[in-house]
Structure 1
Amino acid sequence: MNNVVDYYENYREEDRLTTNNARKIEFLTTVRMFDDIIGDSSKEILDCAAGTGAYAFYLADKGYNVTATDLTPRHIDIINEQLANKPYKMTTAVLDATDMSMFSDDSFDVVLNMGPFYHLTEENMRNKCIEESLRVLRKDGLLVVAYVPKFYLNQMIVTADEKYIDGRLLSQIRDTGELHSDDPKCFWTDTYYSSADEMEELFAKNNVEIISHFAQDGILPMLADVADTWSEEKFNTWLEYHLSVCKEKSILGMSNHVIITGKKK
């Protein structure tokens, strides 16, 4: 995971969800869905890949007791700096989501796994990440997992730069879902791309009852330049439309980021 940490130590994650309309829609869609599925604010939440705290602070501001962890030390430093101006406390730690041994079994009502899964290129590590998330989750608790669809991903990279119109690269992502930092045309860092069917099968295998499956941003990241010309009114019109269709099966494969949520049986 050193390559992943090195990447995020030099990337401004704190700006990612606010810099343009295509990115804002990811956050706004996700929090609207959280408002519907998480429920009362007495719940204990673990955000096991909190980044710089966008979702952790949103939930804590609403009264939830949030624990925020992340693999990247810089991210935890930024969260701790923000906490100095908050009226509440939040437990924070640098943590690898494949080893949550610092937490006891059945510690949380909700586990947000919104990043670790798609940075694990080995299947055994992805399984360990899900197993750890479920271990620390209480019975009937909510597991939230984010993933990046591989078929959308290939479309996005070739529209971003024609050098990625490379049969070997496109076939690798299609067939294995894997991208490695040492690949000749690596456009990100160590990452794993999946599909809606694969994620639903993963939940079923782990005895997790699917509650919701939705596209966080849809196709808008591919239309970022156009979306940034919209007025606030037009953006909000699209947001409401997106919210009305984001659970459609066909939309899941068209989205840059997708979340699947389920209840631990």
Structure 2
Amino acid sequence: MQDEYLEYYANYDEEQRLTSQNITRIEFDTTIDQLAEFTQQAKTLTELGAATGRYSLYYANQGLDVTAVELVPELVEQLRANAKQQATNLSIHEANATAVSFIPDQSQDIVLVLGPLYHLQQQCDREAVLREANRILKPNGILAIAYVSRFFVAGLLAKMSPVLVTPDVLATLNETGLITAPEVDTFFRTGYFSTPAEIERLTQSCGFAMKKHIATDGFGRYIGKELNALTETQYQSWLSYHLSVCHEPSLLGSSNHGLVIATKCAS
């Protein structure tokens, strides 16, 4: 499964994903906005699953001491190229987010986990990432976790193809967070899709206290065509509205992405 995952991201244009459309821009803009109160006072930040560095480079350019960890060699190569192009200094490592022994204990103010949980299909691996985040965070350090809602994905399957609307496919997704149907592409076959309640339990069980739980996209993906057609001024108006309601609990399950921000509990 990991080989399939690596091949998928080796050929995927991750560089453009967060900037190419309004419905993907809102993910980045919301995450930056919701983390601002914590990053403004931070000095050190690690991103586990940094991809091509959209977040890592942003925060490095804001003056933070950034460590970026990424598993896919092609994405690491592009991250290095992006850092060079921007003349940005940060520490880059090709490694699995489940094991980052090269990062010292209690050395980070903030840890971002904005992608790995999408693809860690084993509970023990998801826990391992958060345990590593806990280990490297300073006391009261901040953790940010992104996840993909399995409730949103169920609707996406119905939109993709009626062939995927079967009791077996939907029950498997609902009960396990997995999609095993051969008709779906690699992202879905290698994916893991969470419920909002599950992510909260995972976060708390790994030694963190919840601070925020945010519907990163809100219901934007359901009006994607319309959002993508907005002018820049209109997009900023929509973003302002979205940021005013993204904490609404009733939006969590229907949002494509969710964002949990938590603080490391005292030992």
**TM-score (normalised: structure 2):** 0.93
Q: Which amino acid aligns with 1:186?
A: V
- 1:29 and 2:30 correspond: yes
Secondary structure at 1:84's aligned position in 2? Answer: helix
Contact 1:38 1:142 in 2 (8 A): no
Q: Which amino acid aligns with 2:168?
A: R
1:216 equivalent in structure 2: 216
The CA RMSD measured in Å over matched residues stands at: 1.5
Secondary structure at 1:32's aligned position in 2? Answer: helix
How far apart are the structure 2 equivalents of 1:166 and 1:210?
A: 36
How far apart are the structure 2 equivalents of 1:38 and 1:83?
A: 20
Post-superposition shift, 1:243?
0.4
- 1:186 and 2:187 correspond: no
How far apart are the structure 2 equivalents of 1:97 and 1:25?
A: 25
Deviations 1:16-44 (A, max 9, x none): 01111111111111111121232324x21
1:1-265 map, 5 Å: 1-41=2-42, 43-180=43-180, 183-187=181-185, 188=187, 189-265=189-265
Deviations 1:188-221 (A, max 9, x none): 2411111111111122222211111112112222
Contact 1:20 1:224 in 2 (8 A): no
Percent identity over the alignment?
A: 31
How far apart are the structure 1 equivalents of 2:223 and 2:165?
A: 19
How far apart are the structure 1 equivalents of 2:125 and 2:263?
A: 22
Secondary structure at 2:152's aligned position in 1? Answer: helix
- Tell which deviates more after alignment, 139-148 or 171-180: 171-180
Given the superposition, is the C-alpha separation of residues 228 and 86 from structure 1 closer, same or farther in structure 2, using an over 3 Å criterion? closer
Post-superposition shift, 1:92?
0.3
How far apart are the structure 2 equivalents of 1:35 and 1:84?
A: 25
Post-superposition shift, 1:227?
1.5
How many residue pairs get matched?
262
Q: Which amino acid aligns with 2:15?
A: E
Contact 2:52 2:82 in 1 (8 A): no
Contact 2:130 2:203 in 1 (8 A): no
How far apart are the structure 1 equivalents of 2:22 and 2:200?
A: 29
How far apart are the structure 1 equivalents of 2:235 and 2:85?
A: 31
Secondary structure at 1:259's aligned position in 2? Answer: strand
- Tell which deviates more after alignment, 219-228 or 234-243: 219-228
Deviations 1:20-76 (A, max 9, x none): 1111111111111121232324x2100111111111111111111111111111111
Secondary structure at 1:192's aligned position in 2? Answer: coil
> Can you give the 5+ residue segments of structure 2 that lack an aligned partner in the other structure?
none
Secondary structure at 2:85's aligned position in 1? Answer: coil
Contact 1:156 1:222 in 2 (8 A): no
> Can you give the 5+ residue segments of structure 1 that lack an aligned partner in the other structure?
none
Contact 2:134 2:207 in 1 (8 A): no
Secondary structure at 1:98's aligned position in 2? Answer: coil
How far apart are the structure 2 equivalents of 1:28 and 1:88?
A: 21
Contact 2:60 2:89 in 1 (8 A): no
How far apart are the structure 1 equivalents of 2:76 and 2:191?
A: 21
- Tell which deviates more after alignment, 158-167 or 210-219: 158-167
